[in-house]
Amino acid sequence: MQFEYKRKIFHILLGIIMFFLISNLRKIYLVTFITGIICIGIFIRFLILKGFNFKLIESFLLNFGRPMEIGMGAMYYLLGILLSLIFPFPREYSAISILILGISDGLATIVGINSKYKIYKNKTFSGTMTFFTTSYIILILGLNSIMAALGISIILTLLELFSPIDDNLLIPTAGTLLISFVRLI
């Protein structure tokens, strides 16, 4: 349990850092940087699977990665960020969606980890409500629209709850698309 707290605190901090980077840097630089990190990560993961040892990376994975995952959660996280950035929409939409991924998803796990009230697979009622509440607050602050924030936070909460694919891929991508759609109407 202590391990999962460390992972999710890192998850939250990475989301906040990425929010500020996306808010302040040009998209092309971010896309290039994140693509480079993903490529390096894939290469290092390949070498680790082939038996090479990287003490610093293995120490990091031991502290923040799930066993046998070998960094795939981090890869999905970065890939979700990259996917949200390559859409031809303002970067602010991606920044909001990534902040939701970092904070809402991280806090949902921290709050829900001890809950006995499971509602779907390993998802808990308290974790799901935490995801909804924090994403709603982030969206209200980012969009200045109560109704848009409510609708998007409901959809993102349902996607996070029931999605068969990794939420690190889905939340920033779906969030960016939903915000873009709401801004068009």
- Residue 119: is its pLDDT beyond 70? yes
- Residue 62: is its pLDDT beyond 70? no
Range of the domain at 26: 2-184
CB 48 within 8 A of CB 57: yes
Mean pLDDT of the chain: 91
CB 120 within 8 A of CB 109: no
Give ∠ CA 46-21-81 in degrees, rounded to 5: 45
* Structure confidence by residue, pLDDT tens digits, 65-95: 666 666 788 899 999 999 999 999 999 999 9
* pLDDT at residue 90, rounded to an integer: 94
Q: Which of 18-27, 47-56, 150-159 has the lowest mean pLDDT?
A: 47-56
* pLDDT at residue 74, rounded to an integer: 85
| d(C-alpha 100, C-alpha 81), whole Å | 11
- Residue 61: is its pLDDT beyond 90? no
* pLDDT at residue 51, rounded to an integer: 83
* Structure confidence by residue, pLDDT tens digits, 3-50: 688 889 989 999 999 999 999 999 999 999 999 999 998 998 888 888
| d(C-alpha 156, C-alpha 84), whole Å | 14
- Residue 148: is its pLDDT beyond 80? yes
CB 44 within 8 A of CB 57: yes
For residues 121-140, average pLDDT: 96
Q: Domain total for the chain?
A: 1
Answer with the residue of higher pLDDT: 125 or 71. Answer: 125
* pLDDT at residue 58, rounded to an integer: 74
